[in-house]
């Protein structure tokens, strides 16, 4: 089997082959590492390739199999982690100069769980600095490119995670989603991206951006692989007090037993997602998704989210406020880069210079916005108002689900991937790209992006994604809906050129 054939297998197929010894984890790791070094580097999708530790992990998996032990459901599966997830191996840079040489003294909970399930971590993925951005262009280590068209962005902030999965470097990557950072790049890169319910996955070891919004989740080439990854990383963790106390579920099993699906068969179609502001390919994808589910026996109903622009407004106030607080810890004292001081300068200069030199412009903008909206005199007008809007947004979702809707259908972005440089001089224009994703984080709900169309733009094929949003803890139901979609379409099988 060629390297490309091997890497085109699904994660489930890889793990099965490694467990029945028809494929060695080492061979798989070598192929993935090689592709990360070549394709991954050329797309600037990886910050580091972790060859030594990956090969050691792969050998351990092979050794376990040879002794008749079961390494777990991700046996030998090469995986990529967004570089804001702490690993003992390599650096955890967050796409930031400040942490360029930061070595975490611990593995994140999700990393421990992946290793415990036999996964082989081959690389850390590039990202917008501290996960702040929707294009992948805000990384201190340069922009990631979209494998479908290298003149375009892969989306963000999980830019490298999405690009690596789409480019066949690894079948699954982990990302984080604060306002769409898993779902939007999954849409731009033609893959599946799942943002779990707030609290479903432990965030211990995820470098915090906005603590009431952040959530870790998988990006994969199909729903089944995403389900396996979610089953492994989810579940209670005493080290994260915001982690929900719910029993672990086997999400892959939920997909396989789709015939036992007794969930309601009504899907709400959000009025707000069908605007004239969308690229025609996005409206077409929504129409086709509606037809697909109608053919599969679902009833489609029109629903109103009661917020569009307002969700963006509330989100950017809340996210910036939380970021300004979380990022106060980066002061050049205990970890990260410390600025060189001139004679006579003191501790206050050390803070200010380390932060000014260490943070990129987008991070500084958001810290200042957050500081402003929390400052004396404006707290109530901005921050508290945004928190109230947040509840109205959540109530609108609750009312839709209470009416019997199983999920809400919405685009994952207003258009397909845009050009590098097209929006990065206008922060507000970039923020508006998040119009379809932020309300999910404000409400803490799970949502999945499904590859649902191909747009032909300037002679290139570009993927188009749609999102399904469900009530809290409805990941199994969403994954089943994604699986229904896959069984009636082939967009998830399309691969970028090369």
Partner 1 sequence: MSPSPESGSPAPTPPAPAALSADDVAKVARLAQLNPAPAQAAAYAHQLSAVLEYVQKLRSMDLTNVEPMTSPLDMESRLDADEPGPTLDRDEFLRAAPDHWNEFVRVPRVIE
Q: Please list the active-site residues.
A: 82, 157, 181
Segment lying near partner 1 (by CB under 8 A), choices 120-128, 153-161, 248-256, 385-393:
385-393
Site for partner 1 in 325-344 (CB under 8 A): 328, 331-338, 341
Site membership for partner 1, residue 443 (CB under 8 A):
yes
Q: Is 389 in the site for partner 1 (CB under 8 A)?
A: yes
Q: Which is nearer to partner 1, 443 or 476 (CB)?
A: 443
User: Does the protein bind partner 1 through residue 294 (CB under 8 A)?
Assistant: no
For 75, how many CA atoms within 13 A lie in the half-sphere containing its CB? 24
- The interface region with partner 1, picked from 153-161, 217-225, 284-292, 423-431 by CB under 8 A, is 423-431
Return the residues of window 106-145 that contact partner 1 according to CB under 8 A: 106
Closest distance to partner 1 from the beta carbon of 426 (Å)? 8
The answer to whether the beta carbons of residues 311 and 438 sit under 8 Å apart is yes
Distance (Å, whole) CA 253 – CA 476: 9
Please, which of residues 468-487 interact with partner 1 by CB under 8 A? 472
Closest separation in Å from C-beta 299 to partner 1: 17
Among 368, 456, 487, 493, which residue interacts with partner 1 (rule: CB under 8 A)? 368
Select the residue interacting with partner 1 from 5, 241, 262, 276 (CB under 8 A).
Answer: 241
Q: Which of 63, 277, 309, 498 binds partner 1 (CB under 8 A)?
A: 309
H helices of 87-145, where?
A: 109-116
Helix, strand, coil tally for the chain in percent (to 5): 45, 15, 40
Between the alpha carbon of residue 72 and those of residues 185, 232, 243, 458, the distances in Å are 29, 9, 23, 45
User: Exposed, middle or buried: residue 129 (CB in 10 Å: 0-12, 13-18, 19+)?
Assistant: buried
Q: Does residue 271 interact with partner 1 by CB under 8 A?
A: no
Cβ proximity of 304 and 278 under 8 Å: no
Residues 6+ apart with CB under 8 A from 268: 300, 301, 302, 303, 400, 403, 405, 407, 408, 409
Contact flag: residue 275 with partner 1 (CB under 8 A) = no
* H-helix or E-strand spanning residue 345: none
Site residues (CB under 8 A) for partner 1, limited to 78-107: 102-106
Cβ proximity to partner 1: between 57 and 324 the closer is 324
Q: Residue 386, interface with partner 1 (CB under 8 A)?
A: yes
How many residues make contact with partner 1 (CB under 8 A)? 81
Contact track, partner 1, 180-219, x by CB under 8 A: ------------------xx------------x-------
Q: Could you tell me if residue 43 is left (phi over 0), alpha (psi between -120 and 50 degrees) or otherwise beta?
A: alpha
Alpha helices by DSSP H, listed for 296-384, are: 309-326, 347-358, 361-374
Order of strands across the sheet that contains 460-469: 46-49, 120-125, 78-82, 172-176, 216-220, 192-195, 447-457, 460-469, 407-411, 266-270, 299-303
Return the number of the residue (74 or 396) whose C-beta is nearest partner 1: 396
Q: By CB under 8 A, is residue 369 in contact with partner 1? A: yes
CB closer to partner 1, 31 vs 244: 244
Cβ closest to partner 1, residue 261 vs residue 335? 335
The encoded tokens of residue 342 equal 């001139």
Query: In whole angstroms, what is the distance from residue 82 CA to residue 228 CA?
Result: 18
- Measured from the CB atom, the residue of 30 and 214 that comes closer to partner 1 is 214
- Could you tell me which stretch among 139-147, 173-181, 218-226, 323-331 binds partner 1 (CB under 8 A)? 323-331
Question: Tokens at residue 317, please?
Answer: 């106030």
Tokens 């590859």 locate to 451
The nearer residue to partner 1, 233 or 317, going by C-beta atoms, is 317
231 binds partner 1 (CB under 8 A): no
Q: Are 159 and 165 in contact (CB under 8 A)?
A: no
Nearer to partner 1 among residue 212 and residue 489 (C-beta): 212
| Structural tokens at position 82 | 């967004």
Q: Of 12, 85, 194, 317, which one interacts with partner 1 (CB under 8 A)?
A: 317
Residue from 257, 403, 488, 495 touching partner 1 (CB under 8 A): that is 403
Rule CB under 8 A: say whether 444 interacts with partner 1: yes
CB of 338 to partner 1, least distance (A): 4
Buried b (16+ CB within 10 A) or exposed e, 282-296: bbbbbebbbebbeee
Q: To the nearest whole angstrom, how small is the minimum distance from the Cβ of residue 314 to partner 1?
A: 6
């Amino acid at each position: 089997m060629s390297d490309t054939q091997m890497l085109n297998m699904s994660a489930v197929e890889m793990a099965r082959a490694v467990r029945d010894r028809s494929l060695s984890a080492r061979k798989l790791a070598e192929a993935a590492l090689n592709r990360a070094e070549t394709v991954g580097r050329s797309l600037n999708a990886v910050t580091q390739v972790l060859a030594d530790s990956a090969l050691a992990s792969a050998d351990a998996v092979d050794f376990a199999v040879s002794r008749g032990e079961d390494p777990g459901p991700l046996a030998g599966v090469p995986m990529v982690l967004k570089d804001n997830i702490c690993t003992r191996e390599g650096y955890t840079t967050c796409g930031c100069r400040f942490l360029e040489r930061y070595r975490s003294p611990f593995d994140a909970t999700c990393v421990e769980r992946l290793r415990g399930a036999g996964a082989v971590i081959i690389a850390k993925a590039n990202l917008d600095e501290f996960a702040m951005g929707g294009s992948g262009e805000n990384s201190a280590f340069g922009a990631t490119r979209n494998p479908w068209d290298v003149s375009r962005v892969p989306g963000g902030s999980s830019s490298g995670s999405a690009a690596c999965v789409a480019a066949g470097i690894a079948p699954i990557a982990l990302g984080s989603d604060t306002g769409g950072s898993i779902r939007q790049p999954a849409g731009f890169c033609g893959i599946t991206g799942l943002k779990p319910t707030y609290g479903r996955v432990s965030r211990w070891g995820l470098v915090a951006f906005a603590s009431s919004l952040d959530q870790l989740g998988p990006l994969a080439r199909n729903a089944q692989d995403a389900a396996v990854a979610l089953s492994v990383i989810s579940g209670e963790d005493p080290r994260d007090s915001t982690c929900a106390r719910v029993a672990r579920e086997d999400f892959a099993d939920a997909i396989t037993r789709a015939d036992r699906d007794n969930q309601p068969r009504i899907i709400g179609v959000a009025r707000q997602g069908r605007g004239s502001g969308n690229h025609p390919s996005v409206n077409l994808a929504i129409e086709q998704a509606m037809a697909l589910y109608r053919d599969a026996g679902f009833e489609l109903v029109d629903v109103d989210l009661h917020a569009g622009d307002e969700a963006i407004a509330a989100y950017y106030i809340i996210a910036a406020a939380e970021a300004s607080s979380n990022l106060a810890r980066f002061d050049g004292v205990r970890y990260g880069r410390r600025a060189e001081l001139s004679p006579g300068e003191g501790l206050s200069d050390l803070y200010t210079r380390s932060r000014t030199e260490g943070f990129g412009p987008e991070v500084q903008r958001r810290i200042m916005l957050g500081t402003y909206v929390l400052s004396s005199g404006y707290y109530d007008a901005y921050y508290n108002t945004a928190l109230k809007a947040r509840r109205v947004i959540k109530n609108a979702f609750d009312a839709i689900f209470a009416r019997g809707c199983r999920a809400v259908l919405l685009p994952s972005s207003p258009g397909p991937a845009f050009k590098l440089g097209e929006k990065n001089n206008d922060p507000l224009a970039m923020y508006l790209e998040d119009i379809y994703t932020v309300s999910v984080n404000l409400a803490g709900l799970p949502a999945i992006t499904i590859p649902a169309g191909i747009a032909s733009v300037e002679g290139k094929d570009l993927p188009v994604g749609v999102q399904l949003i469900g009530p809290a803890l409805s990941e199994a139901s969403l994954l089943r809906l994604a699986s229904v979609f896959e069984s009636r379409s082939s967009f998830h099988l399309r691969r970028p050129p090369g």
